[in-house]
Chains A and B, each alone.
Chain A
Amino acid sequence: MRIGFFVTCLVDAMRPSIGFASVALLEAAGCEVTIPDAQTCCGQPGFNSGDRTSGTALGLAFLRDFESFDAIVAPSGSCIGMIRDYPALFTDDLALQARFNVLIAKCYELSDFLVNHAPKPLSAGQLNLAVSYHDSCTGLRQLSVKAQPRFLLQQTQGIELREMKDAEICCGFGGSFSIKLGDIATQMADKKCTHALETGCDAVVGGDLGCLLNIEGRLRRRGDQHTQVKHVAEVLAESLVNTQLEQS
């Protein structure tokens, strides 16, 4: 299965390790991974700020870069959610819209892809870590990503999943919201941190880097320097490396 991997702009710039972890997981799940070099962004920052052209122009760019693959995977529910909205932006060109409909049917959030659509299931890794999973909004509500990352975490030997209170409530990121209305965003992030820490977890884990930066930023400002904040791909890739080390 030929996978086009959409890195997403945040992972590309801020935390490349999530990208490498995702590629490792996809390969472990039997995929041939390609990373089109011309990819940039899905357009969501502009689109959600009211710039429709960001959605249409970058949607066309995305179509050009990714249409030829068997499936397209991104380590973000948020970006895949934006991509799934593309067809609605092309109501005046039915042929193009049809192509977008074909495209979006094969676009997946990483954990969803690994559990439900990958050529072979991901083998269980090993990692001693108590984690609490934060549900990112678009993944949860638009893509029904809820059980998939938990399944992958729970099949890992040594991982203990501790559910936090209000795991489904937004952390306050919301793209430019986190800057435009920073006071409110900070208080939302603060509550998320409190609920995560109440579980006594070693790591807050999520599937969207935007939320993770928001949560980590608030944790550090609160003076917490030790609670890890990780993408689910990083945790899983690490757990697989441990298993491979044991076997070799």
Chain B
Amino acid sequence: MKISSEQFKGNARKQLANEALQSNLSRFGGGFADRRRDAVVKVDDFEALRDRGASIRAEVLENLDYWLLKFEAEAQRRGTQVHWAETGAEANQILLNIARNAGVQRVVKSKSMVSEESGLNEVLTEAGITVTETDLGEYILQLANEPPSHIIAPAIHKSREEVSDLFEKHHGTPRTDDIPALCEEARGQLRPHFLAAEMGVSGGNFLIAETGSVTIVTNEGNGRMVTTLPRVHVAMTGIEKVLPTLEDLSAILRLLPRSATGQDITNYVSILTGVRDEGALDGPQENHVILVDNGRSRLLGGDLHDALRCIRCGACMNHCPVYQNIGGHAYGWVYPGPIGAILTPAFLGLEKALDLPQASTLCAACEVVCPVRIPLPDLMRVLREKELTQGLRPWHEQLSIRLWRWLALHPGLYAFAARWGTRVLRWLAGRDRLLHSLPGLDGWTDGRDMPAPQGETFRDQWRKKQAAERKIIPIRVDQSLPEKTAGLKK
């Protein structure tokens, strides 16, 4: 997938000016969040369920190697072939080899974010294989030649009118704005692809170690057809998606749909195990799982480790005010929103996504809904720290942080700076006591005024008042503490 995370600021600016997108975002904005709120109150103790989800995921990651090997052994025992890919490119190559060996010319796909990471569609198309996305959102985006903007609702940025235009152009059918009619039309278009394809490619929401199964959670039914009709099925998924048991799956399944779309359960939950049984009428004759690392193992045991707990529900982006104002494309890679602000720099390298960890007010709306309690704001802060310590922030930012800290550690100088700073600001403000522009702070003043300081600083006023009324309270100095900066690593 084309990466534009480096241009986040420009992307965001473009999306803020994109009237169609803004209208689509405000039309649906908060829709998933409202549905989640209504769904979780119906569960006895959703917070306890979140604890359970977090601990299941955390425990798996503690012993990820064990559970993956267990998954591999159980899957192989049931006839599934397991492949390991270190990178996205390697995963694509493995899949291409499987396709070539099986004489595949047509592939149908259900949604797989890992295949977006690896750019699978381009690779297959270049190799002369026809790929058809069958998730409705992904199908729309394939026609529009656009990447997804949301991990569970990939075409959420598109209005019904835009979809009508696309269908009219590509299907050559009479234009309709009626949503059921549009769905029916897509279904009619996709049916022959399902029937003709020799290979189905799916993602995998979860891998079940005790049975060697791949679980997919869908609403449209296309996933069932992709995984059972063609003679070859390949599931491509990340190595972190493993769960020890079906019991664990059932706990996680209580969390995922409610967090994602506010559904108690999705329309389809498929647990795919092994190949077609002797004499059975459906199911793939060849079943493969490609376990993709693509940067994940680098996170294990490090300070971003907790991000690997993610079960890809999208709740963080549904609740993120930044995402809700700019949409998913601005983030410039597969994963948008708060989790994307962590995974994109983690997978692609920090220098490729410098603005993403900064693209948050740390309001924590994501953290309080995450079904597996990923401390998203803390992880963004970890990345900010890396940017600063690796010298990746602009020099003036690094300098101003140091200067500010030095001042804040010298109360006398700090008071002096505050005294004179407020005087200058008051002098610069107009008669309306507002600052309409400030050199170096145009990020603020381009869209907002800055109310000028009221007058002398509080502490200057307080000190005068104290001197007039009573005595000045002496500063208590505690000798048992180290000097303010002594013993601290710079």
Is B473 a contact partner of A34 (Cβ separation < 8 A)?
yes
Selected interface stretch from B150-158, B169-177, B286-294, B362-370:
B362-370
Please, how many angstroms separate the alpha-carbon atoms of A48 and B451 in the complex?
24
Selected interface stretch from A112-120, A169-177, A198-206:
A169-177
Is B488 a contact partner of A56 (Cβ separation < 8 A)?
yes
Is B459 a contact partner of A37 (Cβ separation < 8 A)?
yes
CB within 8 Å of A: which of B434-473? 434, 441-444, 446-451, 453-459, 461-463, 472-473
Please, how many angstroms separate the alpha-carbon atoms of A115 and B274 in the complex?
61
Is A43 a contact partner of B408 (Cβ separation < 8 A)?
yes
Q: Which of A19, A41, A168, A180 contacts B358 (CB 8 A)?
A: A180
Is B361 a contact partner of A174 (Cβ separation < 8 A)?
yes
Is A137 a contact partner of B381 (Cβ separation < 8 A)?
no
B381-424 interface bits toward A, Cβ cutoff 8 Å, 1 = contact, 0 = none: 10111111100010001000110110111010010001001100
Closest to B385 in A: A50
Is B418 a contact partner of A173 (Cβ separation < 8 A)?
no
Please, how many angstroms separate the alpha-carbon atoms of A30 and B481 in the complex?
31
Is A64 a contact partner of B485 (Cβ separation < 8 A)?
no
Is A37 a contact partner of B455 (Cβ separation < 8 A)?
no
Does any Cβ of A come within 8 Å of B143's Cβ? no
Is A14 a contact partner of B481 (Cβ separation < 8 A)?
no
Does any Cβ of B come within 8 Å of A181's Cβ? yes
- Once A178-B444, A213-B450 are accepted as A-B contacts, the answer to whether A13 and B421 lie under 8 Å apart by CB is yes
- Once A16-B458, A213-B451 are accepted as A-B contacts, the answer to whether A169 and B365 lie under 8 Å apart by CB is yes
List B contacts of A181 (CB < 8 A): 9, 12, 322, 355, 358-359, 443
- Once A170-B321, A172-B321, A178-B443 are accepted as A-B contacts, the answer to whether A58 and B409 lie under 8 Å apart by CB is yes
Does any Cβ of A come within 8 Å of B478's Cβ? yes
Is A7 a contact partner of B388 (Cβ separation < 8 A)?
no
B7-49 interface bits toward A, Cβ cutoff 8 Å, 1 = contact, 0 = none: 0010011001000000000000010000000000000000000
Is A183 a contact partner of B361 (Cβ separation < 8 A)?
no
Does any Cβ of A come within 8 Å of B475's Cβ? yes
B485 CB to closest chain A CB (Å) equals: 6
Is B414 a contact partner of A50 (Cβ separation < 8 A)?
no
List B contacts of A111 (CB < 8 A): none
Does any Cβ of A come within 8 Å of B2's Cβ? no
- Once A141-B365, A182-B444, A188-B325 are accepted as A-B contacts, the answer to whether A16 and B473 lie under 8 Å apart by CB is no
Is A214 a contact partner of B448 (Cβ separation < 8 A)?
yes
A158-193 interface bits toward B, Cβ cutoff 8 Å, 1 = contact, 0 = none: 000000001011101111111111111111111100
Please, how many angstroms separate the alpha-carbon atoms of A170 and B408 in the complex?
27
Is A68 a contact partner of B476 (Cβ separation < 8 A)?
yes
Q: Which of B325, B455, B457, B488 contacts A53 (CB 8 A)?
A: B488
Closest to A213 in B: B451
Is A38 a contact partner of B448 (Cβ separation < 8 A)?
no
* A-B residue pairs, 6 tightest by C-beta: A174-B361, A186-B447, A182-B443, A50-B384, A217-B448, A16-B458
CB<8 Å pairs between A and B, sample of 9: A13-B421, A14-B454, A34-B473, A46-B408, A49-B401, A178-B361, A181-B355, A184-B326, A185-B447
